[in-house]
Amino acid sequence: MTNVTQSETTHAGALAQIVCPSCVTPNRVAPGSDVQAVKCEKCGTALFQGMPLDVDDELLQRHIALTSDAVLVVVWAPWCGACQFIESDLIDAAGRLEPGVRLLKLNSNDSESARGFGLNGIPALLLFSAGNEAGRTVGAMTADQIVDWTHARLQASAQSTVRSPGANRARA
């Protein structure tokens, strides 16, 4: 890990900030770092685990606010058949999306945030980039579809930001 000063900013080719899945401490990661070797500076937990992380409302907000790269939130419920059906696809997608995208799972039964998103069904995917919503979709998807949708939304969000710096919010 590299120590960083407060004045350093994150952008393509610069240090990325990722939240530890265990102690929730923000960590700076140098581009090109071996994702298998990167550990939390505070607790020593591997920062990239290739698995979706279960979060509550507080952890969700912390990840979205403190992660410089993208955060993909899957809103689900234990009673939802489609949600159970895509579980292995979420694991596969998480492993393929890291380190550029952190995949989080938010149980809609226990979440005020999930209700606040105004979703019309589950499973729902909400993509955040630099703290702003970059896209959302509802319905079961394969791992390939999740990865493709995520990359397409991130690309569209980046192009939108380049064309119009004030327009950080896009929906799928």
Alpha helices in 13-170 (DSSP H): 57-66, 81-85, 87-97, 112-116, 143-163
**Does residue 35 form part of some domain?**
no
Domain that holds residue 131: 49-163
Work out whether strand 132-138 and strand 53-55 pair parallel, antiparallel, or are unpaired.
unpaired
pTM score, whole prediction: 0.84
In the chain, the number of structural domains is 1
Q: What angle do CA 84, 133, 122 make, to 5 degrees?
A: 20
39 domain-assigned: no
In a domain, 17, yes or no: no
Strands 101-107 and 70-76: parallel
* Token output for 116: 């606040």
Closest CA to 102 of 76, 65, 152, 145: 65
Encode the chain (172 residues) as per-residue pLDDT tens digits: 333 322 233 334 678 999 999 999 999 999 888 888 999 999 999 999 999 999 999 999 999 999 999 999 999 999 999 999 999 999 999 999 999 999 999 999 999 999 999 999 999 999 999 999 999 999 999 999 999 999 999 999 888 766 555 544 444 4
